Amino acid sequence: MSALVAPVPAPDPDSAPALKPALSRPLTLLLSLACGVAVANIYFPQAISPLIATGLNTSKSSAALVTTCSQFGYAAGIFLLVPLGDRLRHRRLVTTLLLLTAVALVLAGTAATLPVLAVASTLIGLTTVVPQILIPMAAGLAEPERRGEVTGTLLSGLIGGILLARTFSGTLGQWLGWRAPYLLAAAAVLALAMAMAAFLPTTTPSTAERYPKLLAAAVRLMRTEPLLRRSCQYQVLVFAAFTAAWTALALHVTGPEYRLGTPAVGVLALVGAGSMLATPRAGRATDRWGPDAVNLRCLLGVLAAAAVLVLGALGGVLGLAGLAVGMLALDVAMQSGQVANQARIFALRPRERARLNTAYMTCAFLGGSAGSWLGVRAYSSFGWQGVCGIVAVLGGLALALCLARRRG
């Protein structure tokens, strides 16, 4: 444990005084891994929703709403639980949440009906908010000049979890059925809980405020911090576009146009691994040029991704190539924008980073759950072209906001 937590040679005036240990590189990598393992639980159902539909004898569009439930639960968990990152010791809080997530995953893996699975998915989302507690904690442990880089590194782990989750669940579900990914994920989360109990540094809470006041802080910060509102507006729109595309993708590639199995969704997700390399670079670019410059490039990337994704409606090799390149571009744009947005908000109030992240990520995942719903509806009514239209409209709105601020 001593290799992971290094002593601080001198206090950092820009960090919360309560966070004493420095952020060593081995600890950064462990936290990055933890973010990936935890966040995977929100995303792996996207690849196996067709298998869930078959296994529970329901429609594909109904089964796809399991993803919406998990993202809605995640938004609720961010609002209700992430503020506790400023109030409680991180080691105990993180370990407890991971144990609860493991229980919810077992419930989902043994569900006999879609309503039970939907409830379990909501509980999974509610408790698997560990990354949103670890990221602001790491921002407080990092030196100010490394904050963007550290945020980018943890988000790289987050992206790895998102990408590998779809590959893992699509392949494993095809071999062993849709329940297997849930049960294996429960075992992985249990192992992660033991690692966090062993290696997370001892931190002192930065506030003694009562729980209701912590919850109210997210609303207060949204009202008083215009830069927080800016980050929220961008991420709500871009993340809604992202989840709309990914939720509909499984329906599209397993549908009549391609007739591929769920492992194909995982393969397309692996193509997006390039975004893991992009986020540390986005962090360094944010440290150098500021978040607004990075955001502008990311929003242009969303529109470019929407244009390329239209090729996915053609079918065949060209269509698959369009899906792969377009989803990669969308992943890179969304995740790089996330780095810039979080670096912006973490610089605002060092003692309230968890509460700032609560406001930001609650908005983001409310946008994500709305995007999942929109993606299913657009695909059911208008096919893949409708989904691409949703991505373009949402990205265009975010870009218009960005350009208006630059002119102002």
**Residues 88-111: tens digit of each pLDDT:** 888 899 999 999 999 999 999 999
Closest CA relative to residue 108, chosen from 98, 121, 95 = 121
Burial class (CB in 10 A: 0-12, 13-18, 19+), 267: middle
Q: How many other CB atoms sit within 10 Å of the CB of residue 20?
A: 17
Phi, psi for residue 6 in degrees, rounded to 5: -95, 150
String of DSSP letters for 135-174: HHHHHHHS-GGGHHHHHHHHHHHHHHHHHHHHHHHHHHHH
- Two tokens, residue 376: 């299913």
Residue 290 lies in a domain: yes
Residue 124 lies in a domain: yes
User: Which residues face 5 on adjacent strands?
Assistant: 23
CA dihedral 114, 120, 124, 126 (to 10 degrees): 110
Residue 4 lies in a domain: no
- Two tokens, residue 139: 């921002």
Q: 21 falls in which pLDDT band (50, 70, 90)?
A: low
Q: Where in the sequence is the domain holding 380, given as residue range(s)?
A: 13-407
> Is the pTM higher than 0.85?
no
Q: 46 falls in which pLDDT band (50, 70, 90)?
A: confident
Residue 373 lies in a domain: yes
Residue 165 lies in a domain: yes
Residue 2 lies in a domain: no
| Torsion over CA: 257, 260, 261, 264 (sign) | negative
Residue 6 lies in a domain: no
Please provide the average confidence, as pLDDT, over all residues in the chain: 85
pLDDT tens-digit map of 188-225: 999 999 999 988 887 777 777 888 888 888 889 999 99
- Two tokens, residue 212: 């209701």
Residue 6's SS3 state is strand
Is residue 61's pLDDT more than 90?
A: no
Evaluate whether 130 touches 96 at the Cβ level (below 8 Å). no
Residue 297 lies in a domain: yes
* Nearest-angstrom CA–CA distance, 63 and 293: 39
Burial class (CB in 10 A: 0-12, 13-18, 19+), 256: exposed
Phi, psi for residue 143 in degrees, rounded to 5: -65, 145
CA angle (213 as vertex; 211, 214 as ends), nearest 5: 65
Q: Give the mean model confidence (pLDDT) for residues 30-39.
A: 91
CATH of the domain at 152: 1.20.1250.20
Domain count, the chain: 1
pLDDT tens-digit map of 288-308: 888 989 999 999 999 999 999
Between β-strands 22-23 and 5-6, what pairing exists: parallel, antiparallel or unpaired? antiparallel
Name the DSSP letter for residue 144: G
